[in-house]
Structure 1
């Protein structure tokens, strides 16, 4: 383990009542004067430091005001150009509107002509059909003529036969006439004439036959021509039909064009009206920008006035410091050896290495022994740290101006080079820090973490006291990350021990640690010289009552009840940005874990109000999802009320009633009756009431939150998560992003992962908040946890102690604590 400070003591310091060790003072001869003298020295030093910080802030404000003034002027020029462009566009829109109207008229005319064309084509089709029918009729007549010609041909054959017979008869008659001699001569003449008639008949028949052949040939040609005409008529009819379809398409297109033109005309009319509205808004913007310029000029004057006043205040503080020093020197008191305040924390701190710590209680110590580029004040807001000022050069690059002379506890000066090395130590794969995610959005961090690069490209040393950090994309929560104890700036001594630069130097013992004031701390030496912290949960109230503690941290009802009504004791209560939950091990094969309805049933089975009332004494608010309301407040989130009957119904619906293997819940074996163990016992009792057979699995406190132990040993574990910052992404990513050791439930939702990535890049604050509300609802409906409560924390101190303030993250800044008088 690495320790913070010079040495590790082998023996714990004895617990004694608070004392102030001083020698006699020549003026007052008591410790009160020495204490007063010390407090005054510290106060004057802190006032001077704060005035210097304010003066730096005023300079930055002046620069920002001037930048705003320049930006407004640029904006005014842009607005004028926009107005001009909108005017041109409006005129163009009106021209388009007029052209559209003309197009509508042309479309109407086209529709009329297309209709006429369609009618003509329809008439043409009818005429084609008539021609086709006429051709068919003519073919019938011709075919009838062909039939008649055939019949005539048959008759000619008969006539030929008759002529042949007649010719034969004529021949016979001539023979007979010759036989008759002179008496048959007249008959021979007749026979000769008959022969001539028969021959002429045969010749006529032959001629008629040839003519009929030619007629048949003509008939065939006529039929062929008529068939060709019919084919052409059919083709013409098809073409006419196609033409009709084209006209129908033209008519439909023109009709559609008319509707489109109507829509375009309506849209352009609306657009013109919108442009007129935009022009009105732009003119209003222009007037507002004019007013803004005037306001910025006034703000610039007042800022300059503040700067002048601060300069005067600086001179006054210099004089005050000089006078105070002279006055205190005349008091002739021996040097103030300091007061020791005593307090306690439950002994659950597993590491004092800020780079490796992700524990809330560890933050109480580490946030006072270490410091970062930036700091988080008692109100939870960013304030200067090692960086006295910073600014954004573009959307992604932050430039930090360092304090000259800021030192580590070993007196090594803090420079830009050292800061880059510290961040690279945090990100280095060999460090294997669970907090490397706080710098994951720095450009080149991913490549460095995976060993693909030898340096982080996004961290640039500008000079000895200036450093720039470029992000991969604009991320609003980045500066808050830099103010946390886990991103503190550290260095190493020759033995490899880590050295911090916070207000106190840390030394650890077996069950306690000591914080010694660092005289060269860049924000001024703390009021209290030493703070001794016992890491114990035993007899805290009793030791506080006996005067062995000066202030204590309260997180449970029993402790609160013992001290809240004591005389000379002040008790304060704060709500903090955190959540307590019972997390399911989603890698478990338990049917209760693998069933979404069963996980919902467990949420209804646990009586959260009983935990808040009986264990915490009211120091909590029932949670409805993972987010504390101070980070994301969603009134529409209903949560899961205590309803054992509904829990049993859900188990029955999932067929999970009856005997099952025991449900394993992790239990801190060496922690005794702490809040965590009591919560575990209450949850076990509530689950038993709905028929779940529970088994408490004892593990050492130091190993309790190890994700590998959870995966191998438990179905459920009890944990808390206190916000490092007020940024929703900073709160949610470590708990639910896959692959992180702080995601102890091994939750992995593709929907949530995608939405987290979108929200992470989103700059619009309202839309970003709405998206995180949506993400919270998705997680709440997945039931990866039993959502328990958001804690309130209390602390008690003696009346002679002031300056103790708990910030919204639940941490104290010990450097602000003042002992006003000795007991």
Structure 2
């Protein structure tokens, strides 16, 4: 779908609708000026202008017919896509409703699962408590067994002591028995005197024998007790081991239950999350149903709009058929007008002073406005700039963009010719774009096409073929970029990407007699004097009204601007500070001054990369506050400019009218310096480079010196030759410099990318050596945005950020001013400073 809209945008609908008015006005004017009986030369001129206008109108109508037909095809394709979209939306709605019901069931199941998980969690917690209690009881049993074991051990120790006592008793009994035996022997020796003692001795012996016998029995019993104690001790050891094992099992069970509880908690939490998510999903599904219904209603509205657009296209086609018929009648009338010989029609000659010599006749080597004034009339690219900065077809009649935003497919015009009569073919496009990138060409315009896939390999000399440019036949060119880059069409409209015939370039004649495919062809060039071009009668868009144009390098010595106008030497004169006052005061030409905006910003660059105070945004803001921009405008631009709030001028996408400029406020400037850590001003003076011999810059710098001195900043003014002043080395040395930037393509990327991207320090454009990561990121992102509204918001944000960072003192956006003779018709100003001559004609009464 996106590629279809890109294709629609690629057509010349708006531009062709804008182009016919001056042509139609010309037809009307020439028809009304055709006299019944008048001067023959005037009549011939009028008829000639009528013929040219008719031819160009016929081309415009024909091209518009093709555009409307292409629009109708695109709308039909969109309608088919919309019908498929509606069918898919219907299926989606059914699926979403089913999904909603399923989601609600899932939500209910999740709630039930949450309840079960909660119960399981509670049981697991109870089990964990029981295990803890079992662990406590096992610990108590172990403690009791240990105590019993200790008691048994003590009992064993007591039996051992008893055994020792019994042994002593046994020994005493044995000794007593021995003593009683000796006593009996002695009693026997004593006779009757010892008989009583003998009886006692006998009794003692009996008692000792009984004691010995009893002691022996006790020893046996104690021995048995000892054996039992050993057995009990063994059982106690086994019990302790069993208790320890049981305790370990209980511990394992406890750990398992802990894991179960933790898992149960996690399950409960997950089930709760699932339940919540399911509930949210159910609510979301309901929202999707509502949105889908709204989309269905919107789709119906879009379908109606597409149907209406198709009807409008059909009506436009019918109106164009009527217009075609009318142009046919106009052709018949034109054919029947009385003709004069060519000799009787004075040539439509036009002259203007461009002020300098062109630096080259090779468009791919040009990058200055003076050269562009000449070569933009001779050459044309795949695209062209419209009446403003919009893009219209050039040698490419239509184009398409792939869905990924990287591949552009261009359809060339059939029958478009170079000035040598050869038809422009696809191979000329490939050759010309590759030539820009080749190192031996030395083109300063590689930045315009370096984003093409394979361009960098050609720029580095690795190959001469750009793999991103492919051809399909003689009229189709595909260009694939490394990444999406929206401003690409604008780059192709710039004079630096003009298309050249290969055979002319290789012959070397392009540097002395350039051949292009533009509305005018080269006649001659005298350095220091003038260049002459004439109408190309086979220009694809119809020949210009003017027959010949002289671009004067300078006015003759001693001739003033007013004299050049009043004598008819020039038909157009550009105005600046040097000649504006004299022309404004002239009674005739002061009323003929034309004024219009141009994409141009005058500024003071502040060296952000040198280190020191200017590296601080607060100091840069203070300097902005200390410069009185309105005084600069009044004194040096005669009031023909407006104070700028940032780098983007009015008319450029991203320029924010609501962004306030820095006011002239010396107290606020001093406050900024205090905030930056410089309460008494800067410790060292700053230097500003101005162009040698440029009195306007010298006078401005003197004003800056005075204003900055009032906030404690000393400024030293240094004059340098132009080439040295703009060199990278000089830019690194200085603190400040004065320059004006003019947009090349009208796209904000062209205005901001070279000036503020940190990869472009020095000659690449960023002469303030400004670096900011956010700015770099926004610049990169902006290149890929296609939606105009999004691009506008994006670049407004970027514009504000750069204004806050203040790498420049934003001075003013001046107007372009010029004066034309009263007989000049069809002339219009352009935001890019381009002066288009193909629609200009002369009405000399």
Fold shared per TM-score above 0.5: yes
How many angstroms apart in 2 are the aligned matches of 1:86 and 1:344?
Answer: 71
Segment drifting more, 512-521 vs 215-224: 215-224
1:503 paired with 2:513, answer no
Structure 2 vs 1, CA of residues 247 and 636 (structure 1 numbering), >3 Å: closer, same or farther? Answer: farther
C-alpha displacement at 1:512, in angstroms? 4.5
Structure 2 vs 1, CA of residues 803 and 93 (structure 1 numbering), >3 Å: closer, same or farther? Answer: same
C-alpha displacement at 1:68, in angstroms? 0.7
How many angstroms apart in 2 are the aligned matches of 1:223 and 1:582?
Answer: 105
Structure 2 matches for 1:527-542, cutoff 5 A? 527-535=545-553, 540=561
- Residue of structure 2 in register with 1:757 after alignment: 780
1:799 paired with 2:799, answer no
- Residue of structure 2 in register with 1:4 after alignment: none
- Residue of structure 1 in register with 2:432 after alignment: 422
Structure 2 vs 1, CA of residues 609 and 218 (structure 1 numbering), >3 Å: closer, same or farther? Answer: farther
Structure 2 vs 1, CA of residues 783 and 283 (structure 1 numbering), >3 Å: closer, same or farther? Answer: same
C-alpha displacement at 1:104, in angstroms? 0.6
Q: SS at 1:719's partner residue?
A: strand
- Whose helix proportion is higher, 1 or 2? 2
**8 Å contact from structure 1 (residues 572, 796) kept in 2:** yes
**8 Å contact from structure 1 (residues 557, 618) kept in 2:** no
**8 Å contact from structure 1 (residues 27, 332) kept in 2:** no
Structure 2 vs 1, CA of residues 501 and 335 (structure 1 numbering), >3 Å: closer, same or farther? Answer: farther
C-alpha displacement at 1:298, in angstroms? 3.8
- Residue of structure 1 in register with 2:382 after alignment: 373
CA deviations 1:786-823 (Å, max 9, x no partner) are: 2222333333333322222122323221111222224x
- The partner residue of 1:720 within 711, 733, 740 is 740
How many angstroms apart in 1 are the aligned matches of 2:729 and 2:344?
Answer: 53
How many angstroms apart in 2 are the aligned matches of 1:619 and 1:111?
Answer: 83
- Residue of structure 2 in register with 1:384 after alignment: 393
CA deviations 1:41-80 (Å, max 9, x no partner) are: 2211211111121112112112211211221122123213
**8 Å contact from structure 1 (residues 26, 332) kept in 2:** no
1:734 paired with 2:750, answer no
How many angstroms apart in 2 are the aligned matches of 1:532 and 1:688?
Answer: 49
**8 Å contact from structure 1 (residues 707, 741) kept in 2:** no
- Residue of structure 1 in register with 2:688 after alignment: 665
Structure 2 matches for 1:174-189, cutoff 5 A? 174-180=184-190, 188=198
C-alpha displacement at 1:143, in angstroms? 4.3
- Residue of structure 2 in register with 1:448 after alignment: 458
Structure 2 vs 1, CA of residues 719 and 191 (structure 1 numbering), >3 Å: closer, same or farther? Answer: same
1:640 paired with 2:662, answer yes
C-alpha displacement at 1:691, in angstroms? 4.4
**8 Å contact from structure 1 (residues 592, 656) kept in 2:** no
1:119 paired with 2:119, answer no
**8 Å contact from structure 1 (residues 344, 553) kept in 2:** yes
- Residue of structure 2 in register with 1:573 after alignment: 595
Unpaired stretches in structure 1, ≥5 consecutive residues: 1-24
How many angstroms apart in 1 are the aligned matches of 2:459 and 2:147?
Answer: 96
**8 Å contact from structure 2 (residues 689, 725) kept in 1:** no
- Residue of structure 2 in register with 1:21 after alignment: none
How many angstroms apart in 1 are the aligned matches of 2:644 and 2:728?
Answer: 27
Structure 2 vs 1, CA of residues 658 and 563 (structure 1 numbering), >3 Å: closer, same or farther? Answer: closer
Q: SS at 1:499's partner residue?
A: coil
1:631 paired with 2:674, answer no
Structure 2 vs 1, CA of residues 539 and 565 (structure 1 numbering), >3 Å: closer, same or farther? Answer: closer
How many angstroms apart in 2 are the aligned matches of 1:813 and 1:267?
Answer: 65
- The partner residue of 1:321 within 287, 308, 331 is 331
- Residue of structure 2 in register with 1:559 after alignment: 580
Q: SS at 1:473's partner residue?
A: coil
CA deviations 1:494-543 (Å, max 9, x no partner) are: 22424332223355431654443333322222222333344569954664
Structure 2 matches for 1:767-806, cutoff 5 A? 767-806=790-829
How many angstroms apart in 2 are the aligned matches of 1:778 and 1:143?
Answer: 92
C-alpha displacement at 1:632, in angstroms? 0.8
C-alpha displacement at 1:440, in angstroms? 2.5
- Residue of structure 2 in register with 1:687 after alignment: 708
Q: SS at 2:739's partner residue?
A: strand
**8 Å contact from structure 1 (residues 624, 640) kept in 2:** yes
Unpaired stretches in structure 2, ≥5 consecutive residues: 1-34
Structure 2 matches for 1:742-753, cutoff 5 A? 742-753=765-776
TM-score by length of 1: 0.86
**8 Å contact from structure 1 (residues 387, 401) kept in 2:** yes
- The partner residue of 2:169 within 132, 154, 159 is 159
How many angstroms apart in 2 are the aligned matches of 1:460 and 1:423?
Answer: 12
How many angstroms apart in 1 are the aligned matches of 2:732 and 2:276?
Answer: 67
1:522 paired with 2:531, answer no
How many angstroms apart in 2 are the aligned matches of 1:613 and 1:246?
Answer: 89
Structure 2 matches for 1:245-394, cutoff 5 A? 246-248=256-258, 250-329=260-339, 331-332=340-341, 334=343, 336-347=345-356, 350-351=359-360, 353-392=362-401, 394=403
How many angstroms apart in 2 are the aligned matches of 1:771 and 1:188?
Answer: 140
CA deviations 1:253-282 (Å, max 9, x no partner) are: 534543443343233222222222222222
1:603 paired with 2:624, answer yes
Structure 2 vs 1, CA of residues 313 and 216 (structure 1 numbering), >3 Å: closer, same or farther? Answer: same
How many angstroms apart in 2 are the aligned matches of 1:639 and 1:219?
Answer: 108
1:104 paired with 2:114, answer yes
Structure 2 matches for 1:20-39, cutoff 5 A? 28-29=38-39, 31-39=41-49
How many angstroms apart in 2 are the aligned matches of 1:565 and 1:206?
Answer: 160
- Residue of structure 2 in register with 1:614 after alignment: 635
Over 6 Å off, 4+ runs: 656-661
**8 Å contact from structure 2 (residues 499, 516) kept in 1:** yes
Structure 2 vs 1, CA of residues 44 and 683 (structure 1 numbering), >3 Å: closer, same or farther? Answer: farther
Structure 2 vs 1, CA of residues 751 and 226 (structure 1 numbering), >3 Å: closer, same or farther? Answer: farther
**8 Å contact from structure 1 (residues 558, 615) kept in 2:** no
Higher relative contact order (CA 8 A, sep 6+): 1
Structure 2 vs 1, CA of residues 594 and 277 (structure 1 numbering), >3 Å: closer, same or farther? Answer: closer
**8 Å contact from structure 2 (residues 654, 793) kept in 1:** no
How many angstroms apart in 2 are the aligned matches of 1:775 and 1:551?
Answer: 38
TM-score by length of 2: 0.84
- The partner residue of 1:809 within 827, 832, 837 is 832
- Residue of structure 2 in register with 1:12 after alignment: none
**8 Å contact from structure 2 (residues 528, 554) kept in 1:** no
Structure 2 vs 1, CA of residues 41 and 66 (structure 1 numbering), >3 Å: closer, same or farther? Answer: same
Segment drifting more, 206-215 vs 619-628: 206-215
C-alpha displacement at 1:97, in angstroms? 1.0
How many angstroms apart in 2 are the aligned matches of 1:221 and 1:651?
Answer: 100
- Residue of structure 1 in register with 2:9 after alignment: none
C-alpha displacement at 1:405, in angstroms? 2.9
**8 Å contact from structure 1 (residues 481, 487) kept in 2:** yes
**8 Å contact from structure 1 (residues 434, 741) kept in 2:** no
**8 Å contact from structure 1 (residues 582, 787) kept in 2:** yes
**8 Å contact from structure 1 (residues 570, 798) kept in 2:** yes
C-alpha displacement at 1:226, in angstroms? 4.2
How many angstroms apart in 2 are the aligned matches of 1:743 and 1:776?
Answer: 16
**8 Å contact from structure 1 (residues 734, 743) kept in 2:** yes
Segment drifting more, 239-248 vs 274-283: 239-248
How many angstroms apart in 2 are the aligned matches of 1:243 and 1:541?
Answer: 110
Structure 2 matches for 1:585-596, cutoff 5 A? 585-586=607-608, 588=610, 591-596=612-617
Structure 2 vs 1, CA of residues 707 and 223 (structure 1 numbering), >3 Å: closer, same or farther? Answer: farther
Q: SS at 1:209's partner residue?
A: helix
